[in-house]
Amino acid sequence: MKLIYSNTSPYARKVHIAILEKQLEGDFTFQEVDTQQDAEIVRAINPLGKVPALITVEGEVVFDSPVICEFIDTLSGVVELIPQIKNARFVVLRNQALADGLMDAVVAMVAFEKHSGEALPKVLVNRNIDTIHRALNAMENQIPALGEAFDLGQISFMSAIGYIELRLPKLRWREMRPKLSAWFDERSTRPSFKSTMPNR
């Protein structure tokens, strides 16, 4: 199988961490792309022109990151990233959706400035910043309920916050969020997180 990814994409990092946690890295090859310079390559694989995308052994293409992670979770029983028990499953998937929404807000801000060379209009900046802080506050409130298992919800939290630290270091997300900050620092020691740190 092959994972098409960008080194800095938080969605791709989530998938890569899931592969490592499932101990499936030996079953994959990893093709890094630049979504701008390699746009035609990416579109030829994923009609949405986005990464990550996964190519199965049968040649089928799987996208986007939540679907890829569900697919990955079916490949090995080493650990269970998405519980089968209904209530626990919905909590994990909800946490993933929360983190993905946070990623969306950060990516929107970063992408606009990168491609236009201009700052995002103030009204949109304020809207995205509000979304980011609301999502982080919701994560802070979720910390006491998180278990020890490093499930897909937790992987998603880590990927989203890691992207904030990469792209919005001045956000000071740790302020007034002691539980989330301490949890992030503890989980940051996991090999799967450390080995997927963006290199640029």
> What total of structural domains would you count in the chain?
2
Q: For the segment 92-136, what is each residue's pLDDT rounded down to a tens digit? A: 999 999 999 999 999 998 887 776 666 678 888 889 999 999 999
pLDDT at 79 over 80: yes
- Shared-domain flag, residues 159 and 127: yes
- Please report where in the chains the tokens 């938080």 appear, as a residue: 10
Residues 6 or more apart whose CB falls under 8 angstroms from that of 78 comprise 22, 23
Interhelix angle 122-142/152-167, rounded to 10 degrees, is 140
Q: For the segment 4-17, what is each residue's pLDDT rounded down to a tens digit? A: 999 999 999 999 99
- Shared-domain flag, residues 102 and 148: yes
Given 52, 73, 94, which residue is the final one in a domain? 73
Taking the C-alpha atoms of residue 159 and residue 180, their distance in angstroms, rounded to an integer, is 13
Kindly report the CATH number assigned to the domain that includes residue 66.
3.40.30.10
What is the pLDDT, as a whole number, of residue 110?
Answer: 87
pLDDT at 142 over 70: yes
Kindly report the CATH number assigned to the domain that includes residue 112.
1.20.1050.10
Inside any domain, residue 199: no
**Domain range for residue 110?**
86-191
Q: For the segment 42-63, what is each residue's pLDDT rounded down to a tens digit? A: 999 999 999 999 999 999 999 9
Taking the C-alpha atoms of residue 192 and residue 14, their distance in angstroms, rounded to an integer, is 10
Inside any domain, residue 7: yes
- Shared-domain flag, residues 108 and 168: yes
The SS3 call for residue 31 is strand
Per-residue confidence band for 199, with pLDDT thresholds at 50, 70 and 90: confident
Return the H-helix or E-strand segment holding 30: strand 29-32
Inside any domain, residue 79: no
CB of 35 closer than 8 Å to CB of 188: no
- Shared-domain flag, residues 9 and 46: yes
- Please report where in the chains the tokens 């919905």 appear, as a residue: 90
Taking residues 74-88, report their average pLDDT. 93
Q: pTM for this one?
A: 0.95
